[in-house]
Structure 1
Amino acid sequence: MSRPDGPEPRRLTRWWRRRSLRTRLTVIAATAIAVSVFMAFQVASELMDWQLQDTTENELRAEAHVLATTAERAGLAQVWLPPYPGSGRLVRVVLPDGSTRTPAGQPELPPVSEQAGRVVRGASADLMESNDSDDDGHLVYTLRAGDGAVQVARVADDTSINQFGFGMLLIGLLCVVGGALVGRTVARTGLAPIDRLTAAAVQVARTRDLDADIPDEGGGEIRRLIQAINDMLAALRDSRQAQRLLAEDAAHELKTPLTSLRLNIELLVRLDRRGTLDTALTAESRTRLLNDLGTQVAELSTLAAELTDLARGDAGDESTELLDLADVVVAATAQARSRMPDLEVALDVATVWVSGRPAALQRAVLNLVDNAGKWSPTDQPVQVRLRAEGASAVLEVDDAGPGIDATDVPRVFDRFYRAETARALPGSGLGLSIVQRVVHAHGGRATVARSARGGALLRIDLPATAPATPVARLTAGEDSTPR
């Protein structure tokens, strides 16, 4: 159950968040000045009140001592009390019996208090007390004199404090208005680069021109913000360029298999319409044609899957976890054997722990083994080796094929790139590109070299998460066929 006062703060928060930054800065500046003026007024008022109180008390003490000296000389009952002039101090003589004498025409003072009576009886020498029981309020000083006491009082006067407070109020209002104007001006001046930045960003969004860098101006946070936005625009340019290249390359690669598939299907349809399908093609020709169609459909399916994988990039939902790379290699090798029953793989893997995404790593290893399987002779196994080397997990896939020509090495990991000798083989030219993307996403490196057997040696290095003593899973010469 929400508290009764819950909705109101939420509405206030929503209202505040809907205000512009200029309005917020103006309100904050005006509020800060108002609070400062209020605090200064409170402190100044207290100091002024304390100073006036102290001055009044000192004056009352001095006047009381003069009156007490005179009363002791002339006697409390006979001392002359001049008529009240109409303003100023008030005096009173308190006789031993408790009766009082006051000047003619003087306003009445409050009755003698119990504490003042103790001074009259000699229990104490003097007393300063404040009487606020009436509207005026009096500050009364009682001093022992002879057998009684004299009292000198003043009516409490808040005129000075009130005048001071009124003046401070006017000054505070002027300061608040001035603070709001200053805050507005500062906000407008300080946010001018933000306005220009917003206008430039709106222009980029409207024209879709990612090549238009926002001019660098200002300093500190503004400059860092502009640089961050320019970096974001550069990343978007690179992403759009990569998408354009991917679309162009995909269209180019899809053209050949689609054309072949369309021609074969058109041939079958034309022969079927003529009613000569059974006579125009021999059984062997029909089988070969259907096999070609199946191969082309399989290539298109593989190409579509690889394009989807590349287009998705690193945005997959698979989470990173601590895993034994040896398990990934064994699983990928078994999957490759299921695709290519004649493929022979010699595994030599050790336990190496890495932090990564299992499915992505398995796809990369599978592509390496598939690529090696296309080139390796049937009587020579593909060698897959995994070991820990320093702080890295090193995976090597070694085939005994013809190797990679030196002119092709720099472009081996490019999308859709296929060497002249590989264009007659099935494949899309995306497998090694996916390998490189996965490896880079895991902070690793993919390289290619010539193996000792004359074929290609593809190697990936991944950061290991924890040092481990290598334990061989399968020795060289064994294959990964499940038993």
Structure 2
Amino acid sequence: MRLTRWWRRRSLRTRLTVIAATAIAASVFLSFQVASELLDWELRATAEDQLRADSRVLAANAERAGLAQVELPPYPGAGRLVRVVLPDGSTRTPDGQPALPPVSADAGRVVQGVAADLMESGDSDDDGFFVYTLRAGGGAVQVARVADDSPINRFGLGMLLIGLLCVACGALVGRAVARAGLAPIDRLTAAAVRVARTRDLDADIPDEGGGEIRQLIRSINDMLAALRDSRLAQRLLAEDTAHELKTPLTSLRLNIELLIRLDRRGTLDSALPSESRTRLLHDLGAQVTELSTLAAELTDLARGDVSDENTELLDLADVVVAASAQACSRMPDVEVALDVDSVWVSGRPAALRRAVLNLIDNAGKWSPAGQPIEVRLRASGASAVLEVDDAGPGIDAADAPRVFDRFYRADSARALPGSGLGLSIVQRVVDAHGGRATVARSARGGALLRVDLPAVR
């Protein structure tokens, strides 16, 4: 756990340096192991070949002169050791030669003629020997050599020094590579810190580097562009909201100031007849209702992602029927004619119901008395098609492209109640569900608002 915490606290540059040094150290260690085994195998094979050659020479002499009379080569002081094993198990060795290990049971079988030869090795720290036993003259001859590990030890020491040098060089190279490789990241970090400090979202980060670095820089620039668009949309929403609130608030303030002024003078009853007072109170109520509607629609619009409710599989026909019932309760004088088929979609129920309700409310403002609003829902290919048809004056061609814009109201609609946000919320809901909203002229001369949503088969 401590090592994990320590590692997580290190910088990326330090991590790369440690990884590079560790990789080189592991490579050197593995190379040393392989090279040591190969060197040991080669030295052992060479020593055994030399023992066999010397044994054959001594065995040939023993065959000619006999084991008891064969002349043994003098001990040179180091290196090769020889011994003759007679048939009775006794041995002969050159004068002054160090003692060899006792004749083993396996070597005894060679003496007895059970086996032709035998290669033995003893690798103890005190007396390591290679002993080759060869059958000759009714007994056997043995040639031995002390196992010498000094070449391998010298080789290991050399490899250790080289390994340490390689690890040090690897750490330096890893540090340099990390510094060069992370230079774009350092510049990217400095640019991001500068943007965070100055709040200047217009300062794009220079596109440099390659591969993942370039992709990261482009992603951050895309994020900055999205933040710029969000800030612009926020500012425009605030400006549009202030503009839309100005008129009803001004009218509300003037009417309330009039009532207060007349009340202070004590001339409220005489200066404001009952009919005028009723009309003024009615205007005040309408203005308060308009402000409440505007506040509710601004709340819905400010949510951004329509709502936080989960997406589920639902029958859009149920949503349309529920929204129509709610619209009829709000507009009792307006008739809604339903012609809906069952079409399943994947969506957010409350958001879709609000969008359908806004479409019907919009049509209710224009639908003349005695003319119902026709709401149709059907499946068309891979889409669920919802149409809201009214018999009103319709939408002018010049206004059609901006019908779904925030706060937009045609000149003919400015005298009607509303904030100009209803269809904008419809557009937001439809976009969030991967659909499309369009407007056209209906066969009855009014507006035909159409929503296409992906259907689930």
Q: What TM-score does the superposition give when structure 1 sets the normalisation length?
A: 0.92
Alignment of 1:234 onto 2:218: no
Question: Residue 104 of structure 2: which of 110, 113, 122 is its match?
Answer: 113
| 2:251 match: secondary structure | helix
| 2:141 match: secondary structure | strand
Question: Residue 70 of structure 2: which of 68, 79, 86 is its match?
Answer: 79
| 2:456 match: secondary structure | strand
Question: What is the percentage of aligned positions where both structures have the same residue?
Answer: 84
Give, in angstroms, the shift of residue 428 of structure 1: 0.4
| 1:95-174 matches, cutoff 5 A | 95-133=86-124, 135-174=126-165
Identify the residue that residue 361 of structure 2 maps to in structure 1. Answer: 370
Q: Distance in 1 between matches of 2:5 and 2:14?
A: 14
Give, in angstroms, the shift of residue 328 of structure 1: 0.8
Q: Are 1:82 and 1:104, in contact at CA under 8 Å, matched by a contact in 2?
A: no
Question: Residue 284 of structure 1: which of 272, 275, 279 is its match?
Answer: 275
Q: Distance in 1 between matches of 2:423 and 2:87?
A: 118
Residues 344-395 of structure 1: CA distance to partner in whole angstroms, max 9, x if unpaired?
A: 1111111111111111111111111101101111111111111112221111
Alignment of 1:427 onto 2:454: no
Residues 157-188 of structure 1: CA distance to partner in whole angstroms, max 9, x if unpaired?
A: 00100011111111111111111111111111
Identify the residue that residue 480 of structure 1 maps to in structure 2. Answer: none
Identify the residue that residue 396 of structure 2 maps to in structure 1. Answer: 405
Identify the residue that residue 271 of structure 1 maps to in structure 2. Answer: 262
Segments of 5+ residues of structure 2 without an aligned counterpart are none
Give, in angstroms, the shift of residue 247 of structure 1: 0.4
Question: Residue 59 of structure 2: which of 48, 62, 68 is its match?
Answer: 68
Give, in angstroms, the shift of residue 311 of structure 1: 1.0
| 2:82 match: secondary structure | strand
Identify the residue that residue 260 of structure 1 maps to in structure 2. Answer: 251
Give, in angstroms, the shift of residue 146 of structure 1: 0.9
Question: Residue 376 of structure 2: which of 367, 385, 388 is its match?
Answer: 385
Query: Which shifted more, 51-60 or 195-204?
Result: 195-204
Identify the residue that residue 34 of structure 2 maps to in structure 1. Answer: 43
Give, in angstroms, the shift of residue 134 of structure 1: 6.1
Residues 269-318 of structure 1: CA distance to partner in whole angstroms, max 9, x if unpaired?
A: 33333444444433333332222222111111111111111111116211
Give, in angstroms, the shift of residue 444 of structure 1: 1.2
Give, in angstroms, the shift of residue 235 of structure 1: 0.9
Give, in angstroms, the shift of residue 137 of structure 1: 0.9
Alignment of 1:361 onto 2:352: yes
Q: Are 2:307 and 2:351, in contact at CA under 8 Å, matched by a contact in 1?
A: no
Change (3 A) 1:82 1:383: closer
Change (3 A) 1:460 1:294: same
Q: Are 1:310 and 1:434, in contact at CA under 8 Å, matched by a contact in 2?
A: yes
Identify the residue that residue 285 of structure 2 maps to in structure 1. Answer: 294
| 2:437 match: secondary structure | strand
Q: Distance in 1 between matches of 2:452 and 2:358?
A: 16
Q: Are 1:142 and 1:152, in contact at CA under 8 Å, matched by a contact in 2?
A: yes
| 1:459 match: secondary structure | strand
Residues 191-232 of structure 1: CA distance to partner in whole angstroms, max 9, x if unpaired?
A: 111111111111111111111111111222121111111111
| 1:465 match: secondary structure | coil
Q: Are 2:129 and 2:144, in contact at CA under 8 Å, matched by a contact in 1?
A: yes
Query: Which shifted more, 132-141 or 376-385?
Result: 132-141
| 1:413 match: secondary structure | coil
Q: Are 2:306 and 2:429, in contact at CA under 8 Å, matched by a contact in 1?
A: no
Q: Are 2:306 and 2:428, in contact at CA under 8 Å, matched by a contact in 1?
A: no
| 1:395 match: secondary structure | strand
Question: Residue 221 of structure 1: which of 212, 218, 222 is its match?
Answer: 212
Change (3 A) 1:134 1:301: closer
Identify the residue that residue 329 of structure 1 maps to in structure 2. Answer: 320
* Partner AA of 1:465 in structure 2: V
* Partner AA of 2:448 in structure 1: L
Could you list the structure 1 runs, at least 4 aligned residues long, displaced by more than 4 angstroms after superposition: none
Alignment of 1:201 onto 2:192: yes
Change (3 A) 1:315 1:81: farther
* Partner AA of 1:447 in structure 2: T
Q: Are 2:384 and 2:452, in contact at CA under 8 Å, matched by a contact in 1?
A: yes
* Partner AA of 1:104 in structure 2: D
| 1:106 match: secondary structure | coil
| 2:379 match: secondary structure | strand
Change (3 A) 1:277 1:333: same
* Partner AA of 2:111 in structure 1: V
Identify the residue that residue 303 of structure 2 maps to in structure 1. Answer: 312
Q: Distance in 1 between matches of 2:84 and 2:267?
A: 146
Give, in angstroms, the shift of residue 259 of structure 1: 1.6
Q: Are 2:122 and 2:130, in contact at CA under 8 Å, matched by a contact in 1?
A: yes
| 1:183-194 matches, cutoff 5 A | 183-194=174-185
Identify the residue that residue 17 of structure 1 maps to in structure 2. Answer: 8
Alignment of 1:210 onto 2:193: no
Q: What TM-score does the superposition give when structure 2 sets the normalisation length?
A: 0.97
* Partner AA of 1:234 in structure 2: A
RMSD across aligned C-alpha pairs, in angstroms?
Answer: 1.5
Give, in angstroms, the shift of residue 85 of structure 1: 2.2
Change (3 A) 1:82 1:349: closer
| 1:235 match: secondary structure | helix
Segments of 5+ residues of structure 1 without an aligned counterpart are 1-7, 467-483
Q: Are 2:306 and 2:432, in contact at CA under 8 Å, matched by a contact in 1?
A: no
Q: Are 1:371 and 1:431, in contact at CA under 8 Å, matched by a contact in 2?
A: yes
Change (3 A) 1:373 1:133: closer
Q: Distance in 1 between matches of 2:408 and 2:187?
A: 45
Q: Are 1:140 and 1:153, in contact at CA under 8 Å, matched by a contact in 2?
A: yes
Q: Are 2:81 and 2:97, in contact at CA under 8 Å, matched by a contact in 1?
A: yes
Q: Distance in 2 between matches of 1:260 and 1:18?
A: 62
Q: Distance in 1 between matches of 2:321 and 2:225?
A: 40
Q: Are 1:446 and 1:458, in contact at CA under 8 Å, matched by a contact in 2?
A: yes
